């Protein structure tokens, strides 16, 4: 009896398809030496009968083995184990031998000071987290995304989406995204005004490297999103800091800078500014656009979480009232769906999009076309809009819950303003309490909370502010997190 029939077993309850179980099983038998090169495989009919499965399943398994070169087909004879098996062990060059370990340092010079931005990711060991303001990935419409992937698996033109595509991004996605942005933000953009990126960070990088030369003057808010400033600095820009107050970035201070310097670009988060969560007022928006026109600088509008608004009538983006062509608008679905869904976008005049697309090709030939097509379908079907309505309702309730708990438990130790949208509350510790000390105390209690230093280009000696992300905590987690925060603010003596 052929060893395959005697040794091969399958489990129809496994998630692995049966034909792959058969192919993997045959490969294992070959590796164990029970099937030698040149030995025949049983006919598909014989193996199907032995395993009590359909013959087409066996044929699919044999096709897989042929594709991987484990077997060879001879006309009118059948399948035989390949004489040259693909599982070949690499051979060391005798002169060098095997390395004890991969080198720690390169033998060539590496410029360690060129890139300013250190990795922001580190595994969180604490049980509960007040993050910087992230969506709850448990709410992500993953099943809808999987549905679209399955749908494409059955399309005869799926292979087209698995090959090279347009560098500017899927045309289908740009068409649907233009409709979505026009309906929700009033942008009046066309597909030719849109470049698909991998998140907002890539859009920031492309913009800075298309527009900026070494020594160019740019304006950013303080406190602000330092990650954007690092990108601008890496492109050679000189950073000019402008205060951010309860009405947003100080536009009068921007105008004063314009009198003294040639400003090339201004970076701004007009909705739910990171970190302070304030929204730029309509008067300042109009003033800023007039300044941009007068002094001919670009406005890089980062609207990373516009979709999450809790006020009855949110202010539209700067880009929606930009009649001169000064605004570059960037956003993403990383907050709409989940951070791992790396679909971002840049909306700008066509000549800017053309240059950014050329640079994007040098960094990454194109985006993930199949994912882009799937997101386009979710937009077209209204699935994204329905998800946003559901998520907004949940996050609105979580914002209210956090503010209520802070009032009850920490009303004397914290002061804050209820944000109109977004994922976080910006709070300041009162008295002599510092956010650094609270973070250290919280860590010992199993709670992760920011030390407050990453919000500033030049951190204060005694930082006292913190972003408390509420979106990713459910009611039970929120109550426990606030309870631990209260103990952390009280310090070791208050536990």
pLDDT in tens, 25-81: 998 888 888 888 999 999 999 999 988 999 999 999 999 899 888 999 888 888 999
- Both 149 and 221 in one domain: the answer is yes
pLDDT at 123: 60
Give the pLDDT of residue 203.
96
pLDDT in the model for residue 111: 73
Does residue 173 surpass a pLDDT of 90? yes
Instruction: Write down which residue in 43, 61, 81 finishes a domain.
Output: 81
If asked whether residues 173 and 254 sit together in one domain, one would say yes
SS3 call for 83: coil
Instruction: Mark whether 403 and 478 lie in a shared domain.
Output: yes
Q: Are residues 305 and 196 in the same domain?
A: yes
Asked if residue 487 and residue 461 are part of one domain, the reply reads yes
Stretch among 61-70, 154-163, 180-189, 291-300 having the lowest mean pLDDT = 154-163
The answer on 419 and 481 residing in a single domain is yes
Is 430 within 8 Å of 414 (Cβ atoms)? yes
The model's pTM is: 0.80
Q: Is residue 259 part of a domain?
A: yes
Supply the DSSP string of 306-361, one letter for each residue: TT-B-SSSPPPPGGGG--SS-EEEEEESTTTT-TTS--EEEE--HHHHHHHHHHHH
Print the domain residue range for 28.
Answer: 3-81
Nearest Cα neighbor of 447 from 401, 481, 399, 413 is: 481
Q: Are residues 40 and 62 in the same domain?
A: yes
- Is 480 among the domain residues? yes
Boundary residue ending a domain (351, 384, 417)? 384
Domain edge (last residue) among 64, 81, 98: 81
- Same domain assignment for residues 163 and 242: yes
- Per-residue pLDDT, averaged over 273-277, amounts to 95
Count of CB atoms situated within 10 Å of the CB of 207: 29
The mean pLDDT value for 155-184 works out to 86
For residue range 199-229, list pLDDT tens digits in order. 999 999 999 999 999 999 999 999 999 999 9
Q: Could you tell me if residue 275 is inside a domain?
A: yes
Residue 374 and residue 395 in one domain: no
pLDDT at 336: 87
What's 418's domain CATH number? 3.90.1150.10
Q: Is residue 123 part of a domain?
A: no
Assigned token pair, 55:
């013959």
Domain of residue 198, CATH code: 3.40.640.10
Answer whether residue 377 is part of any domain: yes
Residue 163 lies in a domain: yes
Rounded mean pLDDT, 192-203: 95
Same domain, 354 and 391: no
Q: How far apart are CA 466 and CA 132, in angstroms?
A: 9
Return the CATH number at 69. Answer: 1.10.10.10
Residue range 140-166: mean pLDDT, rounded? 80
Same domain for 62 and 155 = no
Both 370 and 392 in a single domain? no
> Looking at the domain assignment, is residue 108 inside a domain?
no
Amino acid 1: pLDDT:
64
Q: Is residue 117 domain-resident?
A: no
Residue 268 bridge partners (DSSP): 301
For residue 240, give Cα distances in angstroms to 243, 267, 477. 10, 11, 40
Q: Is the pLDDT of residue 3 over 80?
A: no
Q: What is the DSSP letter of 243?
A: E
Total domains in the chain come to: 3
């Amino acid at each position: 009896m052929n060893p395959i029939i005697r040794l091969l077993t399958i489990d129809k309850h496994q998630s692995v398809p049966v034909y792959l179980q058969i192919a993997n099983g045959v490969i294992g038998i070959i590796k164990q030496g029970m099937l030698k090169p040149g030995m025949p495989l049983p006919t598909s009919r014989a193996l199907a009968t032995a395993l009590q499965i359909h013959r087409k399943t066996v044929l699919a398994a044999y096709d897989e083995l042929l594709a991987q070169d484990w077997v060879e087909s001879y006309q009118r004879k059948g399948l035989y184990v390949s004489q040259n098996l693909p599982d070949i062990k690499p051979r060391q060059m005798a002169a060098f031998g095997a390395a004890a370990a991969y080198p720690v340092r390169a033998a060539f010079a590496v410029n360690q000071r060129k890139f300013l931005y250190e990795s922001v990711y580190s595994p969180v060991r604490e049980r509960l987290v007040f993050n910087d303001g992230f969506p709850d990935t448990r709410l992500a419409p993953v099943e809808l995304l999987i549905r679209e992937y399955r749908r494409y698996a059955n399309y005869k033109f799926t292979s087209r989406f698995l090959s090279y595509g347009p560098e500017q991004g899927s045309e289908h996605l740009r068409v649907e995204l233009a409709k979505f942005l026009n309906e929700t933000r009033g942008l009046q953009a066309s597909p030719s005004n849109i470049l698909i990126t991998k998140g907002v960070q890539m859009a920031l990088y492309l913009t800075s490297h298309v527009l900026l030369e070494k020594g160019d003057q740019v304006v950013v808010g303080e406190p602000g999103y330092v990650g954007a400033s690092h990108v601008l600095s890496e492109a050679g820009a000189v950073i000019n800091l402008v205060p951010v107050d309860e009405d947003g970035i100080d536009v009068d201070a921007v105008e004063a800078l314009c009198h003294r310097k040639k400003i090339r670009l201004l970076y701004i988060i007009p909705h739910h500014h990171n970190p302070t969560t304030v929204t730029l007022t309509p008067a300042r928006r109009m003033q800023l656009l007039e300044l941009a026109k007068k002094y001919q600088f670009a406005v890089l509008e980062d609207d990373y979480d516009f979709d999450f608004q809790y006020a009855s009538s949110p202010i539209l983006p700067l880009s929606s009232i930009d009649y001169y062509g000064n605004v570059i608008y960037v956003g993403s679905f990383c907050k709409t769906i989940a951070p791992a869904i790396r679909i971002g976008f840049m909306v700008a005049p066509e000549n800017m999009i053309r240059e950014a697309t050329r640079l994007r090709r040098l960094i990454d030939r194109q985006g993930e076309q199949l994912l882009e097509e799937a997101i386009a379908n979710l937009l077209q079907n209204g699935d994204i809009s329905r998800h946003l309505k559901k998520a907004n309702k949940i996050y609105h309730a979580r914002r209210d819950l956090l503010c209520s708990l802070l009032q009850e438990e920490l009303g004397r130790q914290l002061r804050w303003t209820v944000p109109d949208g977004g994922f976080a509350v910006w709070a300041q510790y009162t008295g002599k309490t510092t956010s650094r000390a609270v973070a250290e105390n919280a860590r010992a209690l199993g709670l992760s909370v920011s030390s407050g230093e990453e919000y500033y280009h030049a951190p204060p000696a005694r930082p006292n502010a913190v972003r408390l992300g509420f979106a990713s905590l459910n009611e039970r987690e929120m109550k426990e997190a606030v309870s631990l925060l209260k103990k952390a603010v009280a310090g070791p003596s208050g536990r």
